């Protein structure tokens, strides 16, 4: 078997598991989000603030993907929601079977939104469907405004790009309009949000988007 055959088999197995996750959550009317970004761009912080805003009226649960440590799952549990850590043991992305395994072990109570934080990088997580409704790419203003064209696969597949740490804009060189332009070329239907977990900028829009998508999913089911 060639390397390409092996890769195709792995992706086919992943697709099958992702389809099962998607089918389960279609039936349950739960929205599933897959967050992808470089390490440190603010995924866990965005989730903490999302729980702070939506946790009172929606039931949230989280799956955290990392190479090592329970730190991110601990951070999410500290916000009061159930969270499960997946340790990939070196792999640079989550796959749908790991998500199925984590869901089986965690046995979360019924939830309205499942928040999945992928392993931090802009490359490997791109090809692995986890059964999500929405891939979200985060890009912090400290990372440089050239990243969408340098990592086109993720920015063309993510339905939503979230610029994070906008509070740091006065201190860094980062042209939001340039990022908007690149994303619009790669992904004409994609949405771009400018946020700061620290100042709260854009957080209402982000949480409103999640609520709208959840309502749309439930309306489609009905």
Ligand X SMILES: Nc1nc2c(ncn2[C@@H]2O[C@H](COP(=O)(O)OP(=O)(O)O)[C@@H](O)[C@H]2O)c(=O)[nH]1
Contact footprint for Mg ion (CB under 5 A)? 43-44, 72
Query: What does the H/E/C string look like for 26-65?
Result: HHHCCEEEEEECCCCCCHHHHHHHHHHHHCCCCCEEEEEE
- In the sheet with 113-117, reading across from the earlier edge strand, the strands are 83-87, 60-66, 113-117, 31-36, 134-140, 160-164, 191-194
43 lies in the binding site for ligand X (CB under 6 A): yes
Instruction: Tell me which of 50, 126, 164, 187 binds ligand X, using CB under 6 A.
Output: 164
Q: Supply the minimum distance, in Å, between the C-beta of residue 72 and ligand X.
A: 6
Q: Point out which span in 15-23, 36-44, 182-190, 209-217 binds ligand X (CB under 6 A).
A: 36-44
168 lies in the binding site for ligand X (CB under 6 A): yes
Q: Supply the minimum distance, in Å, between the C-beta of residue 18 and ligand X.
A: 23
Q: Supply the minimum distance, in Å, between the C-beta of residue 197 and ligand X.
A: 4
Instruction: Tell me which of 84, 147, 165, 217 binds ligand X, using CB under 6 A.
Output: 165
Segment 102-141, which members bind ligand X (CB under 6 A)?
120
41 lies in the binding site for ligand X (CB under 6 A): yes
Find the largest Cα–Cα distance for the chain. Answer: 53
Size of the residue set binding ligand X (CB under 6 A): 16
Q: Name which of 39, 35, 31, 42 is nearest 195 in CA terms.
A: 42
DSSP letters for 174-215 = --HHHHHHHHHHH-TT-EEEE--TTT-TTHHHHHHHHHHHHH
45 lies in the binding site for ligand X (CB under 6 A): yes
How far does the chain reach from its first CA to its final CA, in angstroms?
45
40 lies in the binding site for ligand X (CB under 6 A): yes
How many Cβ atoms are within 10 Å of 44's Cβ, its own excluded?
21
In the bound state with ligand X, the residue whose beta carbon lies nearer, of 39 and 80, is 39
79 lies in the binding site for ligand X (CB under 6 A): no
Please name the residues in contact with 4: beta carbons below 8 A apart, sequence gap of 6 or more: none
- With CB atoms as reference, the residue minimizing the distance to Mg ion is 44
Q: What does the binding site for ligand X look like in residue numbers (CB under 6 A)?
A: 37, 39-45, 120, 164-165, 167-168, 196-198
């Amino acid at each position: 078997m060639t390397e390409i055959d092996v890769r195709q088999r792995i992706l086919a197995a992943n697709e099958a598991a992702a389809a099962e996750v998607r089918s389960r959550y279609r039936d349950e009317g739960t929205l599933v989000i897959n967050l992808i970004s470089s390490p440190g761009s603010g995924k866990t912080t965005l989730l903490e603030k999302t729980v702070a805003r939506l946790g009172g009226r929606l039931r949230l649960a989280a799956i955290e993907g990392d190479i090592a440590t329970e730190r991110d799952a601990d951070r999410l549990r500290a916000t009061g929601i159930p969270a499960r850590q997946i340790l990939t043991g070196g792999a640079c992305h989550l796959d749908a079977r790991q998500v199925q395994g984590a869901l089986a072990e965690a046995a979360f109570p019924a939830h309205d939104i499942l928040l999945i934080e992928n392993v931090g990088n802009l490359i490997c997580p791109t090809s692995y469907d986890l059964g999500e409704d929405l891939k979200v790419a985060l890009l912090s203003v400290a990372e440089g405004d050239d990243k969408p064209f340098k990592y086109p696969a993720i920015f063309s597949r993510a339905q939503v790009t979230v610029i994070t740490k906008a509070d740091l804009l006065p201190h860094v060189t980062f042209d939001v309009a340039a990022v908007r332009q690149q994303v619009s070329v790669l992904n004409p239907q994609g949405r771009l949000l400018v946020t700061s977990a620290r100042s709260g900028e854009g957080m209402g829009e982000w949480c409103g988007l999640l609520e709208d998508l959840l309502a749309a999913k439930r309306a489609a089911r009905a």
